[in-house]
Amino acid sequence: LEHGHVYRGAGEVLQLEVHDHENFDRPAVIIDPDQMRQHVEQNVTKLVKRRIPFRMHISYNENISPFLDALEKMNERVPLDGLRWSLEHAETISPENIARVKKLGGGVALDPKMALHGDGFIKTHGREKALETPRLRQLVDSGIPLAMTTDAFRAATFNPWVGISWMVSGKSVSGSEVLAKGNRLSRAEALKLFTSGPAWFMNAEAEIGRIASGHLADFVLLDRDYFTVPEDQIKYVSSILTVMDGRVVFGAQDYAALSPQLPEILPVWSPVKYYGGYFRAN
């Protein structure tokens, strides 16, 4: 908690049996619809009764549909009534299910996994499907609460500019086209998904996500102009000064002297000790 973490609710893996772990080099993991129904009845309902926000890891539309079926039935008995909840990942969510999530008052938290594993997705699921995965344009245009995330530094990349580059250019880190032109975002739209978008999921729109009066002093100075650099340079954007709640947490170049001393890297075999670029911790 001393590093800025705040408890905001339950999830994303509430029950391992209904966790559709995504490995794009392999076929989709499809959950038994009865298991999904039981999960909602036995677990999600308890959270809703206690007004605890929840998040649900579901990558594939085949699993999103039975979850929403069960959630809609639960909502008739135990109303969500404005309780904030979200689907995490939702890579292959359909337009119909986007509308269902919105009607139930939920949001969708994406991650830039296709920027790293889009080539594997094409190999397993086909190029046509990959170009609409996820449905960025439809999600943004729907007005649904929407965020892009780092997936806790584990399965995606903790460098937001890699994800932003993918959303704008439609290219994976290998250079392959993995987003159709009509499914890409403007630079402003992509940036919003990493800034003001996530604030809704934390119920903190009045505190974070924007440079505005009354908000926490969270901001960065960048080493180049994100809005004007060539598209293929977006992934190389980096911070030279990062401030969180008025505290300098990182400095480089002219601001290096302001950077706090970093703690020892643990575990000792961590790759961040040995690789350059944004992996570098010193």
Nearby residues of 27 by Cβ (< 8 Å), 6 or more positions away? 124
- Structural domain including 273 reads 217-282
Residues 205 and 226 in one domain: no
Report how far residue 216's alpha carbon sits from residue 245's, in angstroms, rounded to the nearest whole number. 5
Residues 46 and 162 in one domain: yes
pLDDT of residue 6: 75
CB hemisphere CA count around 205 (13 angstroms): 8
Report how far residue 21's alpha carbon sits from residue 121's, in angstroms, rounded to the nearest whole number. 14
Residues 40 and 142 in one domain: yes
Asked whether residue 2 is domain-assigned, the answer is no
Task: Answer yes or no: are the C-beta atoms of 102 and 143 closer than 8 Å.
Answer: yes
Query: Which one of 166, 191, 211 terminates a domain?
Result: 211
Asked whether residue 8 is domain-assigned, the answer is no
Residues 269 and 174 in one domain: no
pLDDT of residue 276: 56
Q: What is the pLDDT of residues 53-93, one digit of tens each?
A: 999 999 999 999 999 999 999 999 999 999 999 999 999 99
Total structural domains in the chain? 2
CATH number for the domain spanning 47: value is: 3.20.20.140
How many helices and strands (H and E) does the chain possess?
A: 10, 7
pLDDT of residue 154: 65
Residues 108 and 193 in one domain: yes
**Reported confidence tier of residue 196, pLDDT bands at 50, 70, 90:** very high
Query: Which one of 186, 211, 236 terminates a domain?
Result: 211
Q: What is the pLDDT of residues 5-38, one digit of tens each?
A: 777 789 888 888 999 988 999 999 999 999 999 9
Element at 89 (helix H, strand E): strand 85-89
Report how far residue 228's alpha carbon sits from residue 234's, in angstroms, rounded to the nearest whole number. 9
Query: Which one of 211, 243, 258 terminates a domain?
Result: 211
Asked whether residue 1 is domain-assigned, the answer is no
Specify the pTM.
0.91
Residues 198 and 270 in one domain: no
Residues 263 and 172 in one domain: no
Residues 63 and 179 in one domain: yes
Determine whether 44 is exposed, middle or buried from the number of CB atoms within 10 Å of its CB (0-12, 13-18, 19+).
buried
The percentage of the chain sitting over the pLDDT mark of 90, rounded to a whole number, equals 82
- 156 or 280, higher pLDDT: 156
